[in-house]
A and B are shown apart, each in its own frame.
Chain A
């Protein structure tokens, strides 16, 4: 049973560019959440997708957007990249969106903005 997969593993972009990160959830999971983890910090919640709609959003600007596809996979898009967007981006999936459901994390995408 494949777990949560993310692509690419690493990415280097220049300030002002745009980036798309991809996530495939664990088999049977329909809810996908995205987190940003700066070096030495705990992950910060970006947003959550369920039934192809954004259901919750953390304190991130509109430059961060996402999408969920009918097969439950998801994309995270970041426009107008800033140096401060350099971080590990983690995708997590769960069986359902409720708070008691465990979230399973992928290995992450390391984004470096130069």
Chain B
């Protein structure tokens, strides 16, 4: 079945440091890939997405590139801020077809806790 593996956390960085959170996946076909962020006590917010190989998703200084050859979608940011402290989830959405309609369900990694200190 489909699965997502994220790097072990938690990750602790100083402000303005470079961030990488690794994500690899296993899926049949060509899934869409997503990064979500969850702030304490809140639901998930979509951070960025990529729907085909070599696509780069970007938002708020975060970037991730869909690498089919390595089945990876690593999250990067050049200079983190204290306000980036949160839990980050990598997820994939794979196709399930029924009756001529395509359906997608999200499969999430276990999450990576990021703490940024001033």
Query: A residues near B, CB below 8 A?
Result: 4, 33, 35, 40-45, 48, 50, 55-56, 58, 90, 92, 94, 97-108
Contact = CB atoms under 8 A, between A and B. Distances in A.
A101 B104 contact: yes
Interface of B: 4, 31-32, 34, 36, 42-46, 49, 51, 89, 91, 93-96, 98, 101-111
Nearest to B41: A107
12 contacts: A4-B43, A42-B89, A42-B91, A90-B43, A98-B95, A98-B101, A99-B102, A102-B34, A103-B46, A103-B106, A105-B36, A105-B44
Given A56-B96, A90-B44, A45 B32 contact: no
Given A42-B89, A104-B46, 18 more contacts: A33-B105, A35-B106, A42-B91, A42-B110, A43-B106, A43-B108, A45-B107, A48-B105, A90-B43, A94-B104, A99-B93, A102-B34, A103-B106, A105-B36, A105-B44, A105-B45, A105-B46, A106-B43
Dominant SS among interface residues on chain B: strand
A40 B112 CA distance: 10
A45 B105 contact: yes
A58 B98 CA distance: 15
B51 A100 contact: yes
Given A41-B111, A42-B111, A90-B44, A48 B49 contact: no
Contacts of A104: 46
A101 B36 CA distance: 14
Contacts of B109: 42
